[in-house]
Chain A
Amino acid sequence: MGVLTAALGTVPLWGSDYLVLFFFLFCLYLTVAQMWNLLAGYSGLISLGQQVFLGIGGYSVAVMGNYYGLNVLLSILAGGFFSVLLALFMSLFIFRMKGVYFSIGTWIFAEILMIWFSNWSFVKYGTGLFIKTNPPLSTNETFYIAFVLGVGSVALVYFIMRSRLGLGLMAMRDNEDVSETMGVQVFRYKLYCFLIAAFITGMAAGVFYIFQVFVQPYKAFSIDWTVKLVFIVIIGGIGTIEGPIVGALILVFLSQVLADYFSVSLLILGAIAIAVILLAPKGIMGTLQAKLGFEILSPRRK
């Protein structure tokens, strides 16, 4: 694991520009998918509205950088901060909903913000905003921010799982009602996870849109984001720490390979998702763990 992390961290030293771009995207998808995994895989919160935090993160760096000339790292942090505020506000409503209603509730928030931002003069309506960072970042610098987020998100989930919170989350994953009768404060733990995921997702979004240079509501608040996250987590193995790593690698690889065949690329991604669900319902890492009884980042207590 350490060797892989070191290899990833030194890509700009030995890799081509194309490889740097490839692993930049890998790190960001990994970060955001790891957060979705924390929600869907452990807390039982199937959010179909994670794009709301991607949009907020993207617009935060644009507005903070362009309008207020805020330092780029602080702008990224602000994206996380605004996402947490929004998540707190959302939780007043959606935490009264259960199961599929929660999923739809989160999605509705994303749609509301998409409509709002596309009708808001402050952010130039549907045209969107160019992003000028202060100071301007090189590709390598952007890569390193993404690298820190990617490695950080894996480490964060690992440490959560080793903690008291993680013990409760694993119990909730297996059986929510019973865990509550065993003293696990289900509601509070779900809220913690929702806020943590919003914070990290918002920051990752800022980095992504700095690289894109342009943020626009119909893309930023699009459900396409969450579809990709579901793909990564399901393929890799839901409720495992390693799953999103493998899933993100596959998604970024496939979207690069299939970039020239955009119209069929979604068909192929869909076919792969169906095949994995049928052949290995626990995802690639989940199935490997069940078969080999071996976990690299194991949160197990001995």
Chain B
Amino acid sequence: MPDILVVKSLEKYFGHLLVVSQLSFEVRQGEILGVLGPNGAGKTTMFNLITGTLKADGGSIIFNGVDITRESPARRCRQGIGRTYQIPRPFENMTVYENLLVGAVHGAGMREKHAAPFAMEVLELIRLLPEKDKLAGGLCLLDRKRLELGRALATQPRLLLIDEVAGGLTENEVEMLLKVVKEIQHRGVSIVWIEHILMMLSEGVDRLLVLDGGRRLQCGDPRHVMNSQDVMECYLGSEED
């Protein structure tokens, strides 16, 4: 099977500042690709480029064999790219259930009649069934993070971009969310996952991509990547310092 996502020499400037530079990598069908990098390495910008929220200044993005570099964010979502935000951004004046409906009706293109049972299924998966008719703006952080995953899942993605699902939560809460992510992977969804360094090692991602200053530092087997000289330097500083 071909790679689900191929990114080729992607470039993005903010004014004169080069934030993503000649970035190339691929995501294989069904794998979890972990993404690491210090603050400002361009991780979230990379997500914004893949979903189309930001327009690339150079390079191309091939999703499932189709060049989507010029497509609108809405079309990319319909083609199967879902995402979560690091700081959850639910539709605050809509209920939890309605949030999921938006994903199912607009993202997955379902009719509302068919979307309703599907949304209930997602509610169960993210364990938010009791909060179904609550306004999303009134949820606590854990529930917001669950909804973030659920809403992305409701768009029926083939590729899910997860931006730091674990930040700000206790260990038990993180456990709970990880179970949900695992279930999503079992459904055959490929995942690109920005997360804290220790989590990556413990959660057994298939491959690791390390970014620094908008460039690709390393990409490959997690153990190999973490022991490489430049990644060590990036995180711990070089010996001469």
Contact = CB atoms under 8 A, between A and B. Distances in A.
Given A167-B112, A186-B74, A179 B95 contact: no
A105 interface: no
Contacts of A170: 91, 93-94, 98, 102
Contacts, number: 86
A224 interface: no
A181 B53 contact: yes
A182 B98 contact: no
B51 A171 contact: no
Nearest to B151: A182
Contacts of B95: 300-301
Contacts of A180: 53, 72-74, 77
A255 interface: no
A35 interface: no
Contact of B155 (A168, A183, A186): A183
Contact of B91 (A164, A171, A186): A171
Interface string A136-177: 000000000000000000000000000010011011011101
B74 A183 contact: yes
Contacts of B102: 167-168, 170-171, 179, 182-184
A181 B51 contact: yes
Contacts of B116: 301
A302 interface: yes
B107 A174 contact: no
Contacts of B91: 170-171, 174-175, 178-179
A47 to B, nearest CB: 22
A185 interface: yes
28 contacts: A164-B105, A167-B112, A168-B102, A170-B98, A171-B94, A174-B91, A178-B85, A179-B102, A180-B74, A180-B77, A181-B52, A181-B53, A182-B102, A182-B103, A182-B106, A182-B151, A182-B155, A183-B74, A183-B77, A183-B102, A183-B108, A184-B102, A184-B106, A185-B106, A239-B93, A300-B98, A301-B97, A301-B101
Interface of B: 51-53, 72-74, 77-78, 83, 85, 89-95, 97-98, 101-103, 105-109, 111-112, 116, 133, 151, 155
